[in-house]
Amino acid sequence: MRIMTGTVLLLVVLAISVFPQAKPDQESVAATVKQINTGGIHVLPIPFEIKIDPMERLLLINIDNDPDSVYLGFEPQVFDDDIHGTGHIVIGWRVDGWVDVFHEPGLTLDPDGYDITGKGLAHMVERDMADCFFYVDEAGVQAYYSFEDLEGRTIELKVHEYSSRKRQPFGLLAPMGEAAADPSALPLILLHDFYFVRRKDTDISVTIDGRSHELDKLPLPLNWSLMYFTRYSPDPLIVTLNPVFEGTLPVLEVTNETVVTNGDTTYEIAFDKGTPVLKSIQRHHKEHVVSISFEPAFPNLSAFAEKASVKGSFAFSGHHSTGKVEGHYTVEHIDNEIQVVLVPSKGWIPQPTSLSLRFLYTVARTFKNWPKSYQWTASVVDAEESGLHMSSSWERLW
């Protein structure tokens, strides 16, 4: 099976997406969708993309209750992959809502990718972090960072846990998208083996320009332990759903298959009166699988009749410990334009493993509610020989 662009069977190469590279069918380059379908081969336009940004480890340190004049939190991250390279970065969360990114030389980072982080990127600068480290062992977090900020002030972050008590980590969808002002995608940050830093038997500090700042604390015990609000994951999965798109829709070529695998992506297909429709997309990354599924199956936009309309539900999920995000979609064909709307209206549905977590999610409603404020809208028109053209965007409803 191949991913093709439009009705002429040309290739689209979309890096790190659900549309991997393939070779063109030399015998069918000039064929139209209608000609293909009558030959027993169908095309199914794919308006959805699951993008994965590799990351090794993630640590979040908050000083909201004792902020610096510039920063109210820091987010060390560790990379080791073919996309970014190997090294450390620290995101500085600013009091004005923007973020600064400090990174080791040699790392490859996309500045546009930080528009899902707060108000977006303020500055991205290189810093020497040769003496920095961050890892998780049986006792918990062991981390140290020291670097200069944009004003030449020394920022020092230290976390050393020495507890002999066994950690009880869990899965979480991080509410990082709650702060995004102008998102270009739905950020779904799945944190596996997530946990908070314990207050007892921990050496922890944030020092900026020689001044120590008090760290935020979790207001209730978790697993009978008092916790800092400092939290971490040794196995994060950074997913962005449906980045903003403008162009010709890629299409999947199928015959009578109900499951089509293309690279690290698997499509589950159903047939409605002989026309293929999309039941689900699964994206594989290392040992993880994330998916988006539709009920009823998402319609085939190349065969969507004038004045037709469909309403349905969708669910995004990964490992069961990280819960799922649910919502609804609508598709309407009005005046030669297909309008698609997708809203995660049910928010995040967690899988709490303890009474403490159940209480936490009940009290801190932002954990479950922030996805509800996102809406994806797409306009799809038939560009004839070039295929279906889609223009899409995200907005915050509140």
pLDDT at 177: 78
Residues 51 and 46: their CA atoms lie apart, in Å, by 14
Nearest C-alpha neighbor of 155 from the set 109, 91, 202: 91
* Stronger pLDDT, 278 or 398, i.e. the higher one: 278
* 279 contacts 269 by C-beta, under 8 angstroms: yes
Phi–psi pair at 357, nearest 5 degrees: -70, -40
CA-to-CA distance for 82 and 55, rounded, in angstroms? Answer: 11
Per-residue confidence band for 299, with pLDDT thresholds at 50, 70 and 90? very high
Which range is least confidently modeled, 17-21, 93-97, 100-104, 345-349? 17-21
Question: Which residues does 268 contact at the CB level (< 8 Å), separation at least 6?
Answer: 258, 259, 278, 279, 280, 281, 282, 293
On average, the pLDDT of the chain sits at 88
Determine the residue type at 307: K
Could you tell me the pTM of the whole model? 0.84
pLDDT tens-digit map of 36-91: 344 578 999 999 999 999 999 999 999 999 999 999 999 999 999 999 999 999 99
Distant-in-sequence, close-in-space partners of 355: CB < 8 Å, separation ≥ 6: none
Residues 192 and 218: their CA atoms lie apart, in Å, by 19
Q: What is the pLDDT of residues 229-275, one digit of tens each?
A: 999 999 999 999 999 999 999 999 999 889 999 999 999 999 999 99
Model confidence pLDDT, tens digit, residues 362-386: 888 888 999 999 999 999 999 877 7
Mean predicted confidence (pLDDT) in 283-306: 96
- Best CA proximity match to 184, nearest among 99, 244, 118: 244
| Least confident segment among 18-27, 90-99, 103-112 | 18-27
pLDDT tens column, 165-192: 999 999 999 988 787 778 899 999 999 9
